[in-house]
Structure formats: C-alpha cells, structure tokens
Structure 1
C-alpha cells in the first residue's frame, strides 16, 4: 500500500511515519511518498524519517519529490497536510487581526478566514489532480481549516475525501479516563464543526456517564477542558466543549492575553521551526534528536494563552504522549483498506444527521468506517445555543469557500462580517489589510 503525504516537509510528518512503523498488520503501508514545494524541508524531514526507520528491518520505504503529479500517481491514500504561505503567512494572519482589535488564531475567526482564502484554491487544484491521476485513492485531509477544506474538495472527490482532527477524540478520551472508564469502549456523543463542537454524552454499558462526570468536581477539574473552562461553566452548559471554544466563551480575556505577549504563536513556531530546519541542514546525522527536542517544546506551549487565562497550568504529560491525529489517520486507513470496522470522529457530509444543517454540510461527528468509507451515526441534536453558533459559523465557511473559489470580494467581506468573533465594521479593513500583506489575497483589493 502506498501513502502520499502532501506537505511532506512539514514538521509533524514524523508523527505519521512513527505510527506507520508501529503498524505490524498485514497489508500495511509499505511505501511513503513525501511531496513538498520546499526541497530543503523535504531533506530535513526525510533525514528524520530515515533515522526513525533505523531500528526496523521492514520500515516503509520513503521517497521525496517536488512534483505533484509524480507524488499522486499510484497512491492508495493521500494525506493532505499543506500550509499555503507557510508559517510566515500565519504570522500575518495573527498580526493583522490583532492590530485591528480582533482575535487572529489560525483556524478561528479572522485568522482562519484569511488562511482559508489562500488555502482553498490550492486545495481545490489538488483535488482536481487527484481526481484525474488517482481517482481510486482515499484522501485524508488534515489541512486547516479542516472542515472547510474538506467541504471544498468534496465536489471533486465525493466521499473519498475525509477530514480528520484529533481534538474531539482527545477530549472524549480525557473525559472517559477522568471517570476511570476504558476509553476504547466508550461511545462519544459529539457533534459540531471542526474546532467548534461539544461532547454531549459518554455512553458506557448502555448508560450515559456524562452527568456523573459533570457532578464530580474532582474528576471534572482533573483534565484539560475542566481546567480550561471551569467546573461551573461546564455544568451550566451541560456538555464539554472542544478546547477551541475557549476562544468564543472567553473571547475578551483571550484577546487581551494574546495582545499582552510580545510574540504570537505563529511567530514562536516560525522562529522555532526555522531554527530546527537550519540546524538539521547543518547536522543531518542528528535530525531525529533535534526534531524530538523541538517537538517537546512545541507541544508544551500549545494554547498557552488560553491556559493562562483559565489558570489551567501546564499541559498534562498524558495528553502529549497519547497520540494525536496520526493515530486517527492510521485507524482510518486500516478501517478502509482492510474493512476493519472502526468508530471515529471525522469531518464528513451531514447526510441528515443534524437537522439544523443540510445534507452536504461537512460536520464533525462520530462515524462508522469500513471498506466503503465513513458514515455518520445517530447522535443527539444540537441545543438552541449550539445550533445558533454552528449555523452562524457554517454560513461564514460557505461564504469563505465562495470567495476563494470565485474571487468574489463581496463574499469575502461577508465571511469576515458574519463571524461571531469579528466586529462587522472591521470586515472591510481586515480584508484590505490581508490583501495588502498576503500576495495570495491581492485579488481582493478594492
């Protein structure tokens, strides 16, 4: 089986390869093709992967290419993890928004819209090439904003493109472990959009254990989301939000915290990863050691401003060692390739599951996966509050897709103006500033 990784020079690619090394099942991935537009990054990550493989006699073969068509031909699975504009673009996404007094997080609010506007045309182009050159391949999308990118690719790939994120499964696992449950046997009643969802139930042995968790202050306050949102707020909601909802529920406090620091998250990662790639080029024999050190620092500082606002302390070591999106991707690939039935929370078409959204809306929801792909399962319906926020953000997503695929300035302005975290009077200013600072968005100049 052949896996092509788009964005193969990306920093987190070794996580995927490590998961593949741990897969000992029959019919596993035996060939990995790394595609990237940056040869230097490809060489660095290729060096890391070769050192990871040193202890394995049957490690998947790794090849590197800067030719997209070459990478796609013969692929059984295509893993899309591109970052259009690089981390340099992310720093602009953040800083432009902050300078205008709104949150600039890379997937939420103004920063997410700007990121999507430059990413979606590239993602659509890739989808068209996959449809032409590897029509039988399954596409696993982790390119952010994951739900929006997946929805934009579906017209060309249908249900053979599936979006993934590790946040929902991580939330469910932490909630289950807080009650001492076997996380692998629990059904998570979770629904929403990517980076905008809620855990509404923990089904174990035919019983919903979430009310028990919400009533137990010690258990509820013992894991990341309990510390991040606070016990009383979670009880008021009657559910446990995805960590990214902290940007909505504590918008003013988070904005103030981000504005108070000298360095945005994007700037931190840009400096950190630039140093890693430069040092790896100088010391290729130490690539794996350098990557491991850099990754540990990266993970420990994840969502640091939100945790500071909530006084949540440092991240739990268990959260950083339990495996993330790479394990979701591996489980998804195995379920499809070997018809191994699996239950995963994925980004797929709604197909009537959530009544507030149409059938083609991409939602993040539990699915049953087998050789036929992913099918959403029945979950509880949204509360009025959840439905209102999800429908508002879905309208933003669709206006962003329209703007990115047609070049419509009016659609782009609507996307900014409609977002719950953006003051509508700044929509034009945001778009103009992004168009000035990001070459990919110059077509949106008035």
Structure 2
C-alpha cells in the first residue's frame, strides 16, 4: 500500500493511496480462506471446496469488500501514525474509474485536520459570578401572583352585569328542534365566561347578563362535534342566571398554602424563596458562562478548519432567517449567504467549541449513561403518549444522541474550568441580574 501526500496547506491535507493488484488479490484470498471451512457445495464435503472454485463463484462479490476494507485500513493507519484528527468525514474517491480486475486501485483522500489547541492555564482565567438573593418583596410578589392563579369568585352587587372573566352560576336546558336532548341540561352550573369550555358562541351571549335574568342562547354545534346526533345542528338553550360573580385573588393565608401542598403560609414562603433563588442562580450562571467564554476567547488563537466555520456560519444564517421570517416554515428559500457578523460569530463558536472539547478531553470529562437518560426523558416529555417511540428514535439515531450529549458535556467542562478559574462573587439585586441577562440577548 502506497500513501503519498499531495496537499499540505494550513489544515488541509490530501493523500494519494495506491492499493496494488497483488495486495487486493491477497486480501480476497484471505477472505476466501477464512470462509472456506463453512462453505458447502454440491460434489464437495463441507470445508473442502477448492479455493479456485470459491474464487470463481464468490471472488467478484468479495472484491468490493476487500477493496473497502483495505482502503479503510490504510486510512485508519494513516490517522494513527500521523496523529491527525479530521474535522469532518474525509472525502475519499477512486480516481481510476475505468478500473478492471488485475489493475491497481488509485484512491484520493482529502480532509481538514483539527488544529493543535494551545495549552491554557485555567488558574489565569478570571470570571465574575453574580449572586442574587430573594428578598421579602420578591417573595410577596410571587405569592400574590400565586394567589391570582388560585382565584376565588365573589358575588357582584345585585343588578351588576356580567363581564368576560366573571363566573355565572346557571341552570340551563338545551333543545334541538324544540326537543330537549340528552346531556343538555344542568343546574347550578358554575361557568367562567371566556373559558371556552362550552360550545362556541354560548359564553359570549352571557356577557352582560344579571342575576335572575332568563335568556335564550342560540348556538350551532360544530360539524366535528363528538355526538353525531348533534353535530352541525342548531340549538337553543333556555338559561336562568342565578348568580354573577367577579374573580378575586385567593386570600393569602394558611389555607392557600395548603392548596399548594405546604403546611402553612411560612412554609409556602420558604418554598417560593427557594424556587426564586434557584431561578436567579440559573440566570446568574448564564451571565457567568458568557463572561467565561469571552475570557477564554480572548486568551487563545489558532487556525480554524474552514469547513467547520462555513457549516456553522450557514447554520447561524439559516436560524436567523427563520427567526426574522416566522411565516416561512419551509426550507426552499435558497442559499442564505452569511453576513460578516455571522461569519465572525461562527469563528468564535468553532474556536470555543474546539477549545472546550480539548479541555474536556484532557480532563477526561465524561457524560454518564444516567445523564443521557435524564436528558432523553426531559425531551421525551414534549411528546406525551409517544415517549417510548422517542426513546427508540434516539437510540437508533447517533446524530440525535450527539445533539443531546453536546450541551451536557459543555456544561460539565464549564464547571471544570470554573473550579480552577479565579472566580469573584458580586451580590446584585433581582433587577440588576435581569438587566445582565437582557444584555446577553443584545450582544
């Protein structure tokens, strides 16, 4: 096997590989010899079929396998000897397309190698970590919002008309062609106007009613209504409004706390404080991570594989296009040329991605099976009822596995760097933290 370098330009490499006819023939013979003991053929005992006869019957089919295995072996040996790591799958093509049995095989291999990433003293990296505590005002505000979600209803004054969002307590009887139908009647039914829990048009006609009023509500059942005997039919509901109630926030007390699974109000406040501070910590981590990546980006410089930068730039341009054109759900918009700004962002992402990968590899950072399972489960929850199908899809899709593994790996590498970096904490208010997070989106 002859391997000759044909290109050495920056990170680009090219090689001509020649697999001689004798080497290929020897590989075919090797494969036939391995298979010979298990082959049965009429007129011969098992394992006793002569090699020339096997070659005549199976040689042509094994030629392709032998050729592929020989080329793959040559490539693997080259990468092992050279230490090169290709940025993307190498381009491999046979150059003597008029090849026939007995000829040498000429193959051309081209790739971009991953660059040598310079060693970085992580203790020389400085980063600021924002720390925000949930004060009483934050807790009270969250508690008030919680009380809104657990709203009660309080009777309006006599004669006051109902509004959207009010609750009306009603008796009703529904009729089609003047005859009551099954399931179309109820007493003391509490209906929140605007909840869209009744047939379209029903709730709208009860906006503006008062307690004690009787009203004939005329509606038409949808064509796709579940009960076939009612689908598409016009109906009249004789409604008696017994009460009109306005929404009021639930009283903030121990009873409210118990609705949310806490022993008392103080325990609920404690839970809210923990939840808020967990949210603040997550936001602070985003800010710290950006600051850390900025610091790392300013400390390293090395050649980048053009193919990786180009692919990343196109991905960024494509994503931004769809963010700016949400109405365009297809991908037939043609090639989107990345801007100079998007090109620079792509270079930053590739540079930092390679740096983090190198740091993670040297630190032997691993993503455990348990972490992967948790990530898959988290994603699977977005597909209720199809969780098992999603699990099977991920298990059979290496690309999807990599998409789920990559952010976990990156976060673990970030944690590793932070452990060794020079980290200073700065206490800030919730509003200051919010401004810092908003600034991330503006950059």
TM range (shorter): under 0.3
- Which has the higher Rg, Structure 1 or Structure 2? 2
TM score, norm. by length of structure 1: 0.19
TM score, norm. by length of structure 2: 0.19
Report which of the two has the higher share of helix: 1
